[in-house]
């Protein structure tokens, strides 16, 4: 089980969830078993059994057949595998939402393939009218449409209308990829009901280890192996499977699915988040995406003139760990392209992401608000002389 500094508060689960004890135990057991899952002797068969049990548990988390789960090194690789497979299948123009994760954005830019961004409204939801109109005038010379629309945004927690988008994409004979990395384990995810042709998830967002993820695929997707080797993962991804990591992933997926079956617990955690939001709004913060459906654990707020890095550092000094938007930029704090895409560019350098998880308690949220309020008060006091011209 993950340890954290004594007396600290960890509210950065959207960056990495604290490792669940069940996952840690599964990892330790897999390390003890040893063996290569491609070997036919007893140790190899035991390792293979661990991988296949984890595959079934991960599949169950997103209501997909186990045979469609391909283990990867994380959500980033899973997203890239879907996108690059679509290009290999003939996609010559990509449509990606303006609020996609960097792993989609950067892979798209690096591909050299033409692309367009699906705009979002001020709440951060994809403009399906724009998408419908764009698909209606699709040029067959661009191949079948490929659309990437994440299920829930990693910064704001805003949930996208994926099932509705899937109807539009499939009517145009297209391929819909869904990045469900932030959604899995926080809300119920049914890959088939969503209409996802491919769907990516990651272990470390649900209390599993870092460095392992998965891509699931439906009958309309054609995956192309991008990493060659000995034919592992049914020939879809070469390289010896990370048995300890996969085992921890499976254990985290199983306990996360069981937790979702306790709606009262989920509602209670959302109530803690909402209470914190009300206190911050009363102090002048803007709750980003407030009018849209959001993940129950995620709170994104911004306060004009109160820089993200200043907030993060002040809170860290107070023993409260949060993020300034996404935590996937090599530790850098930068303006949020997500807020800019939402038409809130004036707040793009002032966003703060707070995210709870399986170990969070009500007092964690209360302590965060107390620490933020104190930091905000100090910040306002420093700005007051400058605003009034007082030396």
Encoded tokens for 158: 């805003």
Non-local CB neighbours of 118 within 8 Å, separated by 6+ positions: 95, 96, 97, 98, 126, 127, 130, 131, 134, 147, 149
Digit-coded pLDDT (tens) for 284-343: 999 999 999 999 999 999 999 999 999 999 999 999 999 996 543 434 456 899 999 999
Encoded tokens for 119: 């705009």
Cα distances (angstroms) measured from residue 304 to each of 294, 351, 385 = 22, 9, 17
* Residue found by looking up tokens 């409260």 in the block: 320
Pairing relation of β-strands 93-97 and 146-148? parallel
Give the residue numbers marked as catalytic: 328
Q: At what angle do helices 308-317 and 362-388 cross, to 10 degrees?
A: 130
User: Are the CB atoms for 347 and 339 separated by under 8 Å?
Assistant: yes
Do 252 and 270 sit in the same domain of this protein?
no
Domain assignment present for 48? yes
**Distance from C-alpha of 189 to C-alpha of 250, rounded to nearest angstrom:** 16
CATH for 183: 3.40.640.10
The pLDDT value given to residue 235: 77
- Of the three residues 202, 227, 259, the one that is the final residue of a domain is 259
Domain assignment present for 389? no
The pLDDT value given to residue 330: 39
DSSP code at position 242: -
Do 226 and 277 sit in the same domain of this protein?
no
Domain assignment present for 286? yes
* Residue found by looking up tokens 């960890």 in the block: 10
pTM, to two decimals: 0.93
Pairing relation of β-strands 213-217 and 198-202? antiparallel
User: Are the CB atoms for 287 and 277 separated by under 8 Å?
Assistant: yes
Domain assignment present for 294? yes
DSSP bridge pairs for 69: 216
DSSP bridge pairs for 117: 96
Do 217 and 318 sit in the same domain of this protein?
no
Q: Which domain holds residue 378?
A: 9-18+263-384
Domain assignment present for 323? yes
Digit-coded pLDDT (tens) for 281-299: 999 999 999 999 999 999 9
**Distance from C-alpha of 197 to C-alpha of 200, rounded to nearest angstrom:** 10
- Of the three residues 235, 259, 283, the one that is the final residue of a domain is 259
The pLDDT value given to residue 329: 41
pLDDT of 259 above 70 = yes
112-126, 222-236, 337-351: range with lowest mean pLDDT? 222-236
Encoded tokens for 52: 């296949």
142-156, 258-272, 319-333: range with lowest mean pLDDT? 319-333
Do 227 and 118 sit in the same domain of this protein?
yes
CATH for 375: 3.90.1150.10
User: Are the CB atoms for 61 and 54 separated by under 8 Å?
Assistant: no
User: Are the CB atoms for 62 and 203 separated by under 8 Å?
Assistant: no
Cα distances (angstroms) measured from residue 40 to each of 3, 35, 133 = 38, 10, 54
For residue 301, which phi and psi values (nearest 5 degrees)?
A: -130, 155
Count the domains in the chain.
Answer: 2
């Amino acid at each position: 089980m993950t340890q954290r500094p004594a007396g600290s508060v960890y509210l950065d689960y959207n960056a990495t969830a604290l490792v669940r004890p069940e996952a840690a135990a599964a990892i330790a057991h897999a390390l003890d078993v040893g063996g290569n899952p491609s070997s036919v002797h007893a140790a190899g068969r035991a390792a293979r059994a661990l991988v296949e049990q984890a595959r079934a548990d991960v599949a169950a988390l997103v209501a997909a057949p186990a045979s469609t789960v391909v283990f990867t090194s994380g959500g980033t690789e899973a997203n890239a595998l879907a996108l690059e497979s679509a290009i290999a299948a003939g996609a010559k123009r990509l449509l990606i939402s303006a609020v996609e994760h960097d792993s989609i954005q950067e892979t798209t830019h690096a591909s050299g393939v033409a692309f367009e961004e699906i705009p979002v409204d001020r709440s951060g939801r994809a403009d399906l009218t724009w998408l419908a109109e764009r698909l209606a005038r699709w040029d067959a010379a661009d191949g079948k449409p490929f659309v990437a629309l994440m299920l829930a945004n990693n910064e704001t927690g805003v949930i996208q209308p994926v099932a509705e988008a899937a109807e539009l994409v499939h009517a145009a004979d297209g391929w819909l990829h869904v990045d469900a990395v932030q959604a899995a384990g926080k809300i119920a995810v049914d890959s088939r009901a969503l209409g996802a042709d491919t769907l990516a998830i990651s272990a470390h967002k649900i209390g599993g280890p870092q460095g392992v993820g998965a891509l699931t695929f439906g009958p309309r997707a054609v995956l192309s192996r991008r990493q060659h080797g000995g034919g592992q993962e049914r020939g879809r991804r070469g390289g010896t499977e990370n048995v300890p990591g996969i085992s921890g992933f499976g254990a985290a997926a199983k306990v996360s699915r069981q937790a979702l079956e306790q709606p009262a617990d989920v509602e209670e955690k959302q109530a803690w988040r909402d209470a914190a939001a009300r206190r911050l709004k009363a102090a002048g913060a803007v709750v980003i995406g407030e009018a849209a459906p959001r993940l129950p654990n995620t709170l994104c707020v911004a306060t004009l003139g109160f820089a993200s890095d200043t907030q993060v550092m002040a809170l860290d000094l107070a023993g409260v760990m949060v993020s300034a938007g996404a935590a996937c930029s090599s530790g850098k704090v930068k303006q949020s392209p997500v807020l800019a895409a939402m038409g809130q560019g004036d707040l793009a350098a002032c966003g703060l992401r707070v995210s709870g998880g399986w170990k969070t308690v009500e007092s964690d949220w209360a302590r965060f608000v107390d620490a933020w309020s104190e930091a905000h008060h100090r910040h306002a006091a420093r700005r007051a002389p400058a605003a009034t011209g007082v030396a």
